[in-house]
Amino acid sequence: MPNVSSEIGTIVTGKPATYIGRFAPSPTGPLHFGSLLAAVASYLEARTRDGQWLLRVEDIDPPREQPGATDLILNALERYGFEWGGEVSYQSGSRDAHAAAVTRLLDAGLAYPCNCSRRDLANAPHGPLGRIYPGTCRAGCDADEFAIRVRTENEPIAFEDQLQGRQVQQLEVESGDFIILRRDGLIAYQLAVVVDDHLQGITDIVRGIDLLDSTPRQLWLQQLLGYARPNYMHLPVAINERGQKLSKSHGAGAISLERPQETLVVALEVLGQQPPSELVDGTIPDIWLWAKERWRIDVLRGIAEIPVGHIALARAENRLS
């Protein structure tokens, strides 16, 4: 059924809604090459669609954070010439909105307290998303300390990913009711990301494929909270020659701040954009100019992994020469 309000919007403004994209790093360490790829792709998508690109630091999990990481990330993004719209936002700043969303779900009977411990769930079946919550506390639980879970259903939740195609999950059997507020009082990523994307009016989410299977849980929360659904594009993950994801846990180093041109050109190469080798001799603005004119995300369609050879990685991390 056509959405009446958006039709009216189109008639009044005569143009489609503005594109608002974002990059949302967690300050768990400095920016490494894998996260640079997500930053570059989301930035170029926003820029080539005359959109805005917002920067949001996802600082809601202090135990996982590394002191100084936010500054390192912001510094690196600046050095690489990224230009974001407005001020950097911090997810910790929307704690009240997160709490209000949890309260709304509780009040509507769509969420409930759960005091199951890991041990209690030791025999619960395991699925691709982790342990499948068997619904133990659905009928109520009595405890001083508890997490909050959102109710799920088995209605298939489907969406069309702009790169990875159609995705479907049945949450009740594939994840079970999932946590939106942790027992330690911290908000869960799934809820925080949905609330903040909504508050910031994000229309398009471009991020790594490691979050593809979180998306149906986020769509479910958007549906329950009555939020608009953004478009999704999940980028292939860069893997090293041993087939490991380029991430901090597999020793991916911080991207170098010495010669960002070289690293940026390798990032464009890895993203399938075929930059000419002499581009490394240009300035950062020259490289962005070239990239904005040539950007084609289509080359990544249907690709889940991009192998990055050790030479490219060494160039990206400025370890050659």
> Could you list the residues that contact ligand GLU (CB under 6 A)?
24-26, 58, 193, 207, 211
Q: Parallel, antiparallel, or unpaired: how do β-strands 237-239 and 305-307 relate? A: parallel
Nearest CB to ligand GLU, comparing residues 189 and 295: 189
Rounded least distance, CB 40 to ligand GLU, Å: 14
CB 187 to ligand GLU: min, Å: 13
CB atoms within 10 A of CB 137: 20
Taking the complex as a whole, how short is the minimal distance between the CB of residue 229 and ligand GLU, in angstroms?
14
Residue whose CB is less far from ligand GLU, 79 or 245:
245
Say how far apart CA 241 and CA 243 lie, in whole Å: 5
Answer for the pair 51, 231: CB distance below 8 angstroms, yes or no. no
Nearer to ligand GLU, 150 or 193 (CB): 193
CB-nearer residue toward ligand GLU: 24 or 147:
24
When the beta carbons of 124 and 304 are compared against ligand GLU, the nearer one is 304
- Closer residue to ligand GLU (CB): 149 or 207: 207
* Nearest residue (CB) to ligand GLU, 207 versus 217: 207
To ligand GLU, the closest distance from the beta carbon of 51 in angstroms equals: 16
∠ CA 36-30-76, nearest 5°, is 60
Instruction: Please choose, from the candidates 74, 94, 93, 92, the residue with its C-alpha nearest in 3D space to the C-alpha of residue 84.
Output: 74
HSE toward the beta carbon, residue 290, CA cutoff 13 A: 20
Name beta bridge partners: 163.
none
Token pair for 19 = 């594109």
Sign of the dihedral through C-alpha 276, 278, 280, 285: negative
In angstroms, give the least distance from the CB of 73 to ligand GLU: 10
* Buried b / exposed e along 201-222 (16+ C-beta atoms within 10 A): ebbbbbbbbebbbbbbbbbbbb
In this structure, the dihedral spanned by the alpha carbons of residues 173, 175, 180 and 186, taken in order and rounded to 10 degrees, is 150
Task: Give the Cα separation of 238 and 226 in Å (integer).
Answer: 35
* Length of the chain measured in residues: 321
- Closest separation between CB of residue 263 and ligand GLU, Å? 19
Min CB(261)–ligand GLU separation in Å: 25
